[in-house]
């Protein structure tokens, strides 16, 4: 169990409150009218929604793994975190190939990942 506190409070309760608030923001973000924001950013509402959802999902993921799954604060947290992150390498490879096998990969990739850059 946790041997630390978050803002002087029980970490599990604090984590629980945090997760509930983030989830509420997530659901509200989908219902909210983000068209003006998307227009001001020069993009589509769907893209803004995707960014908001991704940005919220990351801290939620970390909060559950670090506090509920004890990957933070325990004696064996460091090695178990390394263990949990091991598949990340394969995940990156998979995501890379998802990008490379995209139908538009040959014609629509941005300049920075096309031949002619980085001295290639």
Partner 1 sequence: MSGDHHPSAWGPHDWRHGAPHNSWSPFILSLGVAIFLFTLAGAFKFGEFQGWGSVPLIFVGLGVIGFSLLVWWRQDMSFGVDGEVFEPKSAGAPFQNIDIRKVAMWMFLMSEMMVFTSLFSTYMRYRFGIPNCQTVFESGEWVEGTSVTCFEPAGHLIASSWFHIAPGAINTFALIISSFTIVQALRYAKKKDMDEDVRRRKVTRYLGTTWLLAILFLTLKMIEWFVGFPLPEFLHEFNHGDSSIKSLYAEGYLINADSYQHHAYDTHYIEAHPDDYSIPEDSALYAMMQAGTHPGGHMMANIQVSATTFYVTTGTHGAHVLGGIVGLTYMTLKAARGGYTPDNAVSIEYFGLYWHFVDLVWVLVFPFFYLY
Provide the binding-site residues for partner 1, judged by CB under 8 A. 1, 12, 15-16, 19-20, 23, 26-27, 30-31, 46, 49-50, 53-54, 56-57, 60-61, 64-65, 68-70, 76, 79-80, 82-84, 86-87, 90-91, 94-95, 97-98, 101-103
Closest distance of CB 119 from partner 1, Å: 29
Cβ atoms of 28 and 13 closer than 8 Å: no
Cβ atoms of 56 and 29 closer than 8 Å: yes
Q: What is the DSSP letter of 111?
A: G
Closest distance of CB 98 from partner 1, Å: 5
Cβ atoms of 11 and 4 closer than 8 Å: yes
The pair of structure tokens assigned to 28 is 């509200």
35 versus 119: smaller Cβ distance to partner 1: 35
């Amino acid at each position: 169990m946790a041997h630390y506190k978050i803002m002087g409070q029980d970490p599990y309760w604090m984590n629980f409150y945090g997760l509930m608030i983030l989830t509420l923001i997530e659901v509200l973000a989908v219902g909210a009218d983000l068209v003006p924001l998307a227009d001001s950013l020069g993009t589509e509402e769907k893209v803004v929604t995707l960014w908001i959802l991704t940005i919220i999902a990351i801290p939620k993921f970390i909060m559950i793994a670090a506090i509920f799954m004890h990957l933070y604060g325990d004696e064996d947290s460091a090695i178990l975190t390394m263990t949990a992150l091991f598949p990340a390498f394969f995940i990156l490879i998979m995501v890379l190939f998802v990008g490379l096998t995209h139908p538009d990969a040959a014609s629509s990739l941005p300049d920075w990942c096309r031949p002619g850059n980085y001295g290639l």
